[in-house]
Structure 1
Amino acid sequence: MLSASYQKFVAIALLGLALVGCNNEADPNSPEGKRQALFKQMIKHSEPMGGMLSDRLPFDGAVFAEHAAGLVQLADQPWAYFPEPGAEPEPNRAKDTVWSDPAGFTQAIETFKASVADLAAATEGGVRGPGQVSDQLRAVQQACKACHDAYRR
């Protein structure tokens, strides 16, 4: 059973992920629209995994592993759609630190991608129970939160 504080963390992290791309006015063919669409696809994978670990959804190791594999396929994609400073007239939720701290932003992306890879590796050979993947999913969620805290309004 997961602790109440962990369940709260998961709920907050998932809420933060759910808020990615809330600007429904973005042109779907624009960099902002493409970035939003990719983050929404990530949510479609991360939310069920979080639900399984918080007992909101029944745990299914095979489904969990499929969602982890889906995150792996998406982990490299949204970053290409962050605009160069001043290049995108559409509103976006990126803080100026995306450009003023490019090394930090790059490190945050790499931390996220590594945590997703670790999660997928934990699912290789099957997932027998939540304990096998809870630390790895928590690391993915923490990577998302850290990036949002530093680089997203």
Structure 2
Amino acid sequence: MKIRVVFAAAIIGAAGLSPVIAADEPQVVRQEMMKKVGGATGAMAKMVKGEVDFDAAAALAALTTMSEVAATYGDFFPEGSETGMETEAAPAIWSDRAGFDAAVAKFKASADAGVAAAPADLDALKAVFGPITQNCGACHEVYRLKKS
């Protein structure tokens, strides 16, 4: 019996329950969401800068990712998630929740406009990419802590 208990404890320890639990933490979820947005932004930025050829399907996929993230992003800032898990969320999110929600809504609207436009060429992508990145930057200025 002792061997089973020790073995079970070893399995649990090796499995690392902390990371499994942490993956459900709102700070971790929103960080993963922002990584998706960052990847989507990067893919489009390379097209806009001429570093890669324009790809309508890739552009639409990136815009769709942004729209999907924006749809629920604000839900992952509940009271009590202001700190921990290396969050970069600024206190202004909770002290100015209406402003934060409005910023997320602007980002969602610009991403949705990009999806609806379904850019068929580079100029069309540039037209929707600018407003999206402006909304990203504006939100980060107020609602994201600066890395030191």
Same fold judged by TM-score > 0.5? yes
Preserved CA contact (<8 Å) 2:40 2:66? yes
Q: Report what 1:113 is aligned to.
A: 108
Q: Report what 1:83 is aligned to.
A: 78
Distance change >3 Å, CA 133–CA 30, structure 1 → 2: same
Distance change >3 Å, CA 49–CA 32, structure 1 → 2: same
Q: Report what 2:52 is aligned to.
A: 57
State the superposition RMSD in angstroms.
1.9
User: Can you give the 5+ residue segments of structure 1 that lack an aligned partner in the other structure?
Assistant: 1-25
Percent identity over paired residues: 29
After TM superposition, list the pairs within 5 Å mapping 1:2-151 onto structure 2: 27-84=22-79, 86-87=80-81, 90=84, 91-123=86-118, 127-151=119-143
- Superimposed CA distance per residue, residues 66-109 of structure 1 (whole angstroms, 9 cap, x where no aligned partner): 2222222222122211131x455514212211111111111101
TM-score using structure 1 length? 0.73
Letter in 2 for 1:57: V
Once the 2 structures are TM-superposed, how far is the Cα of residue 34 of structure 1 from its aligned partner? 0.8
Distance change >3 Å, CA 27–CA 54, structure 1 → 2: same
TM-score using structure 2 length? 0.75
d(CA) in 1 for partners of 2:81, 2:44: 36
Letter in 2 for 1:74: V
Letter in 2 for 1:138: G
Distance change >3 Å, CA 89–CA 49, structure 1 → 2: closer
User: Can you give the 5+ residue segments of structure 2 that lack an aligned partner in the other structure?
Assistant: 1-20
Aligned residue pairs total 124
d(CA) in 2 for partners of 1:74, 1:92: 17
d(CA) in 1 for partners of 2:60, 2:83: 39
Letter in 1 for 2:27: E
d(CA) in 1 for partners of 2:65, 2:90: 27
Preserved CA contact (<8 Å) 1:32 1:82? yes
d(CA) in 2 for partners of 1:67, 1:135: 15
